[in-house]
A and B are shown apart, each in its own frame.
Chain A
Amino acid sequence: MIEIERLSKTFRTETGADHAALLDISLSVPQGQFVSILGPSGCGKSTLLYIVGGFVRASSGQVRVAGREVTGPGPDRGPVFQEFALFPWKSVTGNVIYGLLEQGVPRGEAERRVAKLLEAVHLKGYENFYPKELSGGMKQRVAIARTLAYDPAILLMDEPFGALDAHTRTLLQNELLSIWERDRKTVLFVTHSVEEAIFLSDRVFVMTASPGRQKAVIDIELPRPRVRSELLLDRRYQETVVEIERLMENRVE
Chain B
Amino acid sequence: MRLRGLLSLPGVPPLVSLLALLALWQLAAAVLGIEGLPSASSVLASLPGVLFDLESLAEIGASLERMALGFAIAVATAIPLGLVMGRSRAVAGFFGPLLTLIYPVPKAALMPIIMLWFGVGDFSKVLVIFLGVSLPLVYHSQAGARAVDEKLVWSAMAMGMPARRRVFSIILPSALPEVMLGCRVGIAMALIVMVSSEMIARQSGVGNLLFNSLDMAQYRTVYATILVIGAIGFALDALFERVRRRLTFWAEAREDAVAGGG
Contact = CB atoms under 8 A, between A and B. Distances in A.
Contacts of A213: none
Contact of A89 (B154, B156, B161, B176): B176
A118 to B, nearest CB: 17
B160 A89 contact: no
A168 to B, nearest CB: 20
Contact of B149 (A75, A79, A85, A90): A85
A11 interface: no
Given A88-B251, A132-B250, A73 B151 contact: no
A42 interface: no
Interface in A21-48: none
Contacts of A72: 157
Contact of A79 (B154, B170, B174, B176): B154
Nearest to A100: B159
A98 interface: yes
B159 A150 contact: yes
Contact of B158 (A78, A83, A89): A78
A81 interface: yes
Interface in A64-78: 72-75, 77-78
Contact of A83 (B151, B156, B176): B151
Interface string A91-131: 00000001100110000000000000000000000000011
Given A89-B250, A132-B252, A102 B151 contact: no
A206 B151 CA distance: 25
A85 B250 contact: no
Contacts of A88: 174, 250-252
Contacts of B152: 85, 87
B155 interface: yes
Given A130-B250, A132-B251, A85 B151 contact: yes
Centre residue among A88, A130, A152 by max chain B CB count within 10 A: A88
Interface residues on B, range: 10 to 19
The size bracket of the interface on A is 20 to 34
A147 B176 CA distance: 24
B158 A79 contact: yes
Contact of A85 (B154, B248, B251): B154
A79 B159 CA distance: 10
A99 B160 contact: yes
A90 B176 CA distance: 13
A85 B173 contact: no
A212 interface: no
Contacts of A132: 250-252
Contacts of A54: 157
Interface in B121-164: 149, 151-152, 154-161
Nearest to B165: A102
A73 B154 contact: yes
Contacts of A137: none
A102 B155 contact: no
Contacts of B156: 98, 102
A98 B159 contact: yes
B154 A102 contact: no
Contacts of A73: 154, 157-158
A55 B160 contact: no
B43 to A, nearest CB: 46
A46 to B, nearest CB: 11
B173 A75 contact: no
B84 to A, nearest CB: 20
A53, A78, A83, A85 pick with most chain B CB within 10 angstroms: A85
B158 A53 contact: yes
9 contacts: A55-B157, A75-B158, A79-B154, A79-B155, A85-B151, A87-B170, A89-B176, A98-B159, A99-B160
Given A53-B154, A83-B151, 15 more contacts: A50-B154, A73-B158, A74-B158, A75-B158, A87-B152, A88-B252, A89-B248, A89-B250, A99-B158, A99-B159, A99-B160, A102-B159, A102-B160, A131-B250, A132-B250
Q: Shortest 5 CB-CB distances between A and B: which pairs? A: A99-B159, A85-B151, A73-B157, A102-B159, A89-B173
